[in-house]
Structure 1
């Protein structure tokens, strides 16, 4: 039977009078990392450039099919009629429909008309300004474009 005091006496702490060399920083934290090679840097740069050009091309193509519309004016002619003038910018090759609405003082729709803007057959974008007559059920107080969509 061995006692604890005898085990402690034979084992010396590592720092006090030990013959083991102190561990180096490389052993403790690992070897320093190698810098990126020239070929890898060029490859990463070229890859980033290709991705950037691709994103720019996608943004340009996606923007050409966008439909922008603005309300220009409205005129309430009577309890059963109103005129709404609006402006649409679209791709010239697209057929677009717009829902024109007339609202009453509680923002309820009292008149609605769908307007079709045909394709012109040209390339690029085109702007169109239209004035439409909208029949109403009650007296309206404002008129606008509710939405435009491509067919």
Structure 2
């Protein structure tokens, strides 16, 4: 036995089988956690829907027409919440519309939102995969 082996044995610097298993299990758990985080991130990105209001037109005291574009995953049905607001940004009209799945990732829509008071703007609040 060399001097280094004697010193390692005396001061406990020799790797024990239990320590090796602990390290192996910690590495395996780390790999599983990283894989799970990557899976969740990829799945969330696959269901992302982007909506952009392109125009609105206040028709009268009881309705607003909102034009918007969607970028969404193909082959998945989409729902959108569209709202009309007054001068104080209070919601005076609200409508949820559902669209069937399409092979087109980008689409344009125009929806009429009924209002309970005079609106000054119309916009897409949010869209999601159903």
- Please say whether Structure 1 and Structure 2 have the same fold, judged by a TM-score greater than 0.5: yes
- Aligned-residue RMSD, C-alpha: 3.5
Structure 1 residue 99, shift from structure 2 partner: 1.3
1:14-36, Cα deviation, whole Å (9 max, x unpaired): xxxxxxxxxxx8698544769xx
2:113 matched to which residue of 1? 134
> Aligned pairs, how many?
117
More contact order relative to length (CA 8 Å, sep ≥ 6) = 2
With normalisation by structure 1, the TM-score equals: 0.58
Q: Is 1:98 paired with 2:77?
A: no
2:3 matched to which residue of 1? none
Q: Please list, as runs of the form range in 1=range in 2, the aligned pairs for 1:1-151 lying within 5 A after superposition.
A: 30-31=12-13, 48=31, 55-120=37-102, 122=103, 126-151=105-130
Query: Unaligned stretches of 5+ in structure 1?
Result: 1-24
Runs of 4+ residues deviating >6 angstroms: 25-28
CA separation of 1:54 and 1:26: change in aligned 2, threshold 3 A: closer
Structure 1 residue 57, shift from structure 2 partner: 5.0
With normalisation by structure 2, the TM-score equals: 0.67
Query: Unaligned stretches of 5+ in structure 2?
Result: 1-6
